[in-house]
């Protein structure tokens, strides 16, 4: 079987295709372990900050926040720091609720089961 690196040779290190493959592999090979999943995404050595964040976000969406070890979340103190006016110091929980409410208000997407 051809390796990911061989198959994607020639793509820039920040290209979407090779980084999507890294995140997918990390989610599969992370075996339901948050730390292992983001570690694998970063160890691939491409767009490390984005791949780690994307793998962690997808992991949380798939497994729920209770599956993320507290040593990753406690230091954040439920607070986001941002240079975006009006959002520095906002609680992560309130942003998650806001995002969920906005998503719920969207019209339904296409039926992909057809």
Give Dmax (Cα) for the chain: 50
Residue indicated by tokens 């780690």: 52
- Determine the pLDDT at residue 3: 73
pLDDT tens digits along 60-109: 999 999 999 999 999 999 999 999 999 999 999 999 999 999 999 999 88
Q: pTM for the full model?
A: 0.78
For the ranges 2-11, 25-34, 59-68, the lowest mean pLDDT is seen at 2-11
The DSSP result for 83-94, as a single string, is SSTTTTT-BHHH
Rounded mean pLDDT of the chain? 90
Q: Per-domain residue ranges for the chain?
A: 1-73, 77-107
């Amino acid at each position: 079987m051809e390796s990911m690196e061989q198959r994607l040779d020639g793509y820039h290190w920040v290209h979407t295709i090779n980084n999507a493959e890294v995140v997918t592999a990390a989610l599969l090979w992370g075996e339901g372990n948050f730390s292992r999943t983001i570690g694998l995404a970063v160890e691939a050595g491409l767009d490390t900050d984005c791949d780690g964040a994307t793998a962690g976000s997808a992991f949380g969406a798939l497994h729920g926040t209770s599956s993320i070890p507290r040593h990753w979340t406690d230091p954040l103190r439920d607070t986001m720091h941002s240079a975006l006016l009006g959002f520095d110091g906002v609680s992560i929980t309130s942003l998650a609720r806001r995002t969920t409410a906005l998503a719920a208000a969207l019209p339904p997407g296409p039926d992909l089961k057809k």
